[in-house]
């Protein structure tokens, strides 16, 4: 996709107390997951060091593979922490499939969600132009809050086209639980969208729709 970035003309995100509290709970849960994973990585690396001190390595290739794998996991954890850090300013055009892996990575670390299977289908999603961090964090909050309320073993979300809109929705949740979480709703509005009225999720304008508006 051709680069389509814009200066940060998005209004500042002023969250309500409820939305801020919700997001901070998600951050705390992800950081607990990071701490747990880091302990596992430290234990694995310590075992390799201990074995290396016991004498010549009988299988240096296997040791090298283990070290490479553990260092890759440490790098992935560092990326997850950066995703929770200060956001990058400005909007940019991207395909939802290009960022859904970031949301899934955070959800897998989420201490309340890491034993749950969460999938997000973006196969039919058109491109969008929003602050990337807003979209990623809205996916995390939507899926985590839906899972906490519906408690499914496998949570399924989808990002799909709907005319000039891109819908992000979670299916399989009881109708009584269809109110979108405060954080998800407020971030959706900050991206020029709104919560869905007939499903658990939100919608934002597609990139083609934005370009049509700008051409008028």
| Digit-coded pLDDT (tens) for 39-65 | 988 898 888 777 777 766 666 787 788
Q: Which residues pair with 21 in a beta bridge?
A: none
| Digit-coded pLDDT (tens) for 92-135 | 999 999 999 999 999 999 998 878 899 999 999 999 999 999 99
User: How far is it between the farthest Cα atoms of the chain?
Assistant: 74
| Digit-coded pLDDT (tens) for 154-171 | 899 999 999 999 999 998
209: which 2 tokens?
């729709």
Determine the Cα–Cα distance for residues 155 and 144; give it in Å rounded to an integer. 9
Q: In the chain, what are the domains?
A: 15-216 (3.30.565)
Provide the whole-model pTM.
0.86
65: which 2 tokens?
């593979």
Torsion angles phi and psi, residue 78, rounded to 5: -65, -40
The residue count of the chain comes to 216
Tell me the pLDDT band of 176, cut-offs 50, 70 and 90.
Answer: low
The CA radius of gyration of the chain, in Å to the nearest whole number, is: 20
Determine the Cα–Cα distance for residues 147 and 119; give it in Å rounded to an integer. 12
């Amino acid at each position: 996709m051709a680069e389509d970035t814009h200066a940060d003309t998005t209004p500042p995100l002023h969250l309500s107390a409820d939305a801020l509290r919700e997001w901070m709970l998600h951050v705390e849960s992800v950081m607990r997951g990071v701490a747990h994973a880091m302990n596992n990585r430290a234990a694995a690396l310590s075992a390799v060091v201990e074995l290396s001190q016991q004498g010549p390595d009988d299988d240096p290739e296997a040791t090298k593979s283990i070290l490479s794998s553990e260092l890759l996991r440490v790098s992935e954890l560092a990326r997850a922490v950066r995703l929770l850090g200060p956001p990058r300013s400005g909007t940019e055009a991207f395909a939802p499939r290009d960022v859904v892996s970031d949301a899934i990575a955070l959800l897998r670390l989420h201490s309340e969600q890491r034993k749950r299977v969460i999938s997000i289908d973006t196969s039919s999603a058109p491109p969008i132009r929003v602050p990337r961090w807003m979209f990623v964090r809205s996916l995390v909050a939507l899926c985590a809050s839906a899972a906490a309320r519906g408690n499914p073993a496998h949570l399924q979300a989808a990002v799909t086209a709907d005319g000039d809109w891109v819908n992000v929705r979670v299916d399989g949740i009881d109708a009584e639980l269809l109110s979108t979480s405060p954080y998800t709703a407020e971030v959706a509005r900050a991206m020029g969208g709104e919560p869905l009225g007939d499903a658990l999720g939100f919608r934002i304008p597609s990139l083609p729709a934005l370009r049509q508006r700008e051409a008028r």
